[in-house]
Amino acid sequence: MAQISGSGPPPAVGVGSVAGAPTVAPQRRATALLRAGQRRADWTPYLFLALPLALYAMWVIGPMFYSFWMSLTDTDGLTYSEFVGLANYRRLVNDDIFWVSFWNNVKWLVIFITVPTVGGLGLALLLNQDLPGTRLFKAAIFSPMVLSSAVVAAVWSWVFFPQDGLINSTLDLLGYGGERIGWLADPDLAIYSIIGAATWRQIGYVMLIYLAGLKNVDPSLVDAAKTDGASSWRSFRDVVFPLLQPVTVIVVVISVIDALRAFDLVQLMTRGGPYNRSNVLGFMMYEEAFENYNMGYGAALAVVLMLISMVFIFTYLRRMLKDELEY
């Protein structure tokens, strides 16, 4: 579910909360029956899979591998292509913009696995009670999730606008005015401003995942801890938080993926500027590919991005595989 990465396409990759998952124990039997069904017609599953798999291979799996090949060429995308070995990767290591973008992705990643996780968990704990209005509060906090990144970018460009934008005019009103802070124009601030806007959208999503996880925490465990005299904080730390651990893993994986996918807000709010100081790998490759027509180089950047996220994707898939094989 993470598609939601502050960016457009499916942001949150849908990795729903594990916690939401019912345990599938009763299906053991169903699986046995399925197996029986399968002996009669081996080819049936392939018939059902043919079309979806063909489409997926053509637009997703194939292109993924093709990017690796492209990164070894100097192609401009359409007219020519020559094998250049690892030249693109050698160039990348010595490219200052690459390192600036790389570190911006790292900043994004660090902020994304801390702020929305803590904030989202806090809000989930707070709103996980039956008081009048909690539904409305949840919806309000979650609502930025349904806005497209174009909308988020428009709204936050006005928030950050130096003349009469939300923040600067509020500072004025409070008497801290004077200097107009260029939230998106200051080379040191721009990337943090963008990450701030992205975080605003991410927190509600994380909150939602934790809320689903909390529903699976047995209230009697918490009650028991309290009866034993544990404080709220201790019962959270020793009972609830450990039980939420699988949910936290998912939240972190989603946030990492979303941080690595960062593109839309950068493209819309600063175009990587000023002086590439708010650039990220996802946008840098777009510029190299579509503005400088260095598609081979762009592909190399994409491969680096992919390899970084592979570490996290595999961690996640391995956990899932273990669950699959267990039952």
Partner 1 sequence: MATTTLPQTGSLRPATKRAGFPWKTLLFYAFIIPFMLIWLVPIFTSINTSLRSLESIVADGYWTLPTSIEWGNFGEAWTTGGLSRYMLNSFIVTIPALLGCLLLSSMAAFALARFNFRGNLLIYFTFVGGTLLPFQILMLPVFKLANNLNLYDTYWALILFHMAFQLGFCTFVLRNFMRTIPGEIFDAARIDGANELRIFGQHVLPLSLPSLAALATLEFTWIFNDYFWALILVQQDKLKPVTTGLGSLMGEYQRAWNVLFAGTLIAVVPTILLFVFLQRYFIQGLTMGSGK
Range 258-287, binding partner 1 (CB under 8 A)? 260-261, 263-264, 267-268, 281-282, 285-286
What is the C-alpha to C-alpha distance for residues 154 and 319, in angstroms, rounded to an integer? 39
On whether the CB atoms of residues 187 and 277 are closer than 8 A, the answer is: yes
- CA-closest candidate to residue 74, choices 288, 322, 305, 291: 288
Residue nearer to partner 1 on the CB measure, 238 or 323: 323
Cβ of residue 76: shortest distance to partner 1, in angstroms? 11
Residue nearer to partner 1 on the CB measure, 10 or 86: 10
- Stretch touching partner 1 by CB under 8 A, among 25-33, 84-92, 109-117, 186-194: 25-33
Collapsed DSSP state (helix, strand, coil) of residue 185: coil
Choose which of 257, 266, 277, 279 interacts with partner 1 (CB under 8 A). Answer: 257
Residue nearer to partner 1 on the CB measure, 94 or 129: 129
Residue nearer to partner 1 on the CB measure, 111 or 204: 204
Collapsed DSSP state (helix, strand, coil) of residue 73: strand
Q: Is 327 exposed, middle or buried (0-12, 13-18, 19+ CB in 10 A)?
A: exposed
Residue nearer to partner 1 on the CB measure, 143 or 245: 143
Range 35-94, binding partner 1 (CB under 8 A)? 35, 37-38, 41-42, 44-46, 48-49, 51-53, 55-56, 58-64, 66-67, 70, 77-78
Residue nearer to partner 1 on the CB measure, 130 or 188: 130
Range 197-236, binding partner 1 (CB under 8 A)? 200, 205, 208-209, 212, 214-219, 222-223, 226-227, 232, 236
Range 2-21, binding partner 1 (CB under 8 A)? 2-3, 7-21
Cβ of residue 186: shortest distance to partner 1, in angstroms? 19
Q: C-alpha angle 31/37/41, rounded to 5°?
A: 135
Report residue 154 as tokens: 């428009």
Range 146-165, binding partner 1 (CB under 8 A)? 146-151, 153-159, 161, 164-165
Residue nearer to partner 1 on the CB measure, 191 or 260: 260
Range 285-324, binding partner 1 (CB under 8 A)? 285-286, 289, 295, 298-299, 301-303, 305-306, 309, 313, 316-317, 320-321, 323-324
Q: Within a 13 Å sphere around the CA of 61, how many CA atoms are in the beta-carbon half?
A: 7
Report residue 84 as tokens: 């250049």
Per-residue DSSP letters for 229-289?
T--HHHHIIIIIHHHTHHHHHHHHHHHHHHHHH--HHHHHHTTT-STTTT--HHHHHHHHH
- Stretch touching partner 1 by CB under 8 A, among 83-91, 94-102, 186-194, 254-262: 254-262
- Number of Cβ within 10 Å of residue 99's Cβ equals 12
- Number of Cβ within 10 Å of residue 322's Cβ equals 9
Report residue 36 as tokens: 């029986």
Choose which of 83, 118, 170, 292 interacts with partner 1 (CB under 8 A). Answer: 170
